[in-house]
């Protein structure tokens, strides 16, 4: 069975959606480790609920990004991790992890890439006045949200209401990401 490490920086709602699919046997994989770059991230509490080990490392505690990623890589090897699943992880993946997991890192992004890459994609979409935005699952490369697209789904913008637009996007993320992972690991 495929062993996953899930990377998150915040609340971990996408982690929990994926974890439910794994627990229900809908994704043929095990989440063996949750990795976070914030020692106070709420994803830690979510992982504890499922008895999933957590690696919480502050990048500032390391002299270089390479040293930070080497520390993560050492833990990934201990858990025999096959794939890295980014779900709200707010750091660019560097050469250490890209080299170790080439074509085995996926991410979810709250826009229809290549439109609105990077931070605050929802805010970018609203500022541009688009009527439709969406969700993209893609492979991770050295760029910011530039990897090969796996799947996308459109979400209508609720005009003048960021909160409702965000809720609709998050709801779609919680459907699309587990479905994509199902297709990747159940074939």
- So what's the pLDDT on residue 107? 97
Q: Is 170 one of the annotated active-site residues of the chain?
A: no
Average pLDDT estimate for 119-148: 96
Structural domain span for residue 145: 2-185
Q: Kindly name the residue from 109, 128, 170, 174 that is annotated as catalytic.
A: 109
State the Cα–Cα distance between residues 147 and 157, nearest whole angstrom: 25
- So what's the pLDDT on residue 187? 72
- So what's the pLDDT on residue 158? 92
Average pLDDT estimate for 154-165: 94
Which pLDDT band holds residue 160 (cuts at 50, 70, 90)? confident
Global pTM reads 0.95
State the Cα–Cα distance between residues 54 and 34, nearest whole angstrom: 5
Average pLDDT in the chain: 96
The total number of structural domains in the chain stands at: 1
The domain that holds 115 is classified in CATH as 3.40.50.170
6 bridge partner residues: 34, 85
Share of the chain above pLDDT 70, in %: 100
Contact criterion met (CB below 8 Å) for 150 and 180: yes
pLDDT digits 0-9 by tens, 85-117? 999 999 999 999 999 999 999 999 999 999 999
- So what's the pLDDT on residue 155? 97
């Amino acid at each position: 069975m495929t062993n996953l490490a899930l990377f998150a920086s915040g609340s971990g709602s996408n982690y929990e959606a994926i974890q439910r699919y794994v627990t229900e046997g809908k994704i043929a994989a095990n989440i063996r480790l949750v990795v976070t770059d914030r020692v106070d991230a709420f994803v830690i509490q979510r992982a504890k609920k499922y008895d999933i080990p957590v690696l919480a490392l502050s990048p500032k505690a390391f002299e270089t990004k390479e040293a930070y990623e080497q520390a993560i890589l050492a833990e990934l090897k201990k858990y025999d991790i096959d794939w890295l699943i980014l779900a709200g992880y707010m750091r660019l993946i560097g050469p250490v992890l890209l080299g170790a997991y080439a074509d085995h890192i996926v991410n979810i992004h709250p826009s229809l890439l290549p439109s609105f890459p990077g931070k605050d994609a929802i805010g970018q979409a609203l500022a541009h006045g688009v009527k439709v935005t969406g969700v993209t699952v893609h492979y991770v490369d050295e760029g910011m949200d530039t990897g090969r697209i796996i799947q996308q789904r459109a979400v209508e913008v609720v005009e003048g209401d960021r909160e409702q637009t965000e809720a609709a996007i998050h709801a779609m993320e919680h459907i699309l990401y587990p479905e994509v992972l199902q297709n990747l690991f159940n074939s």
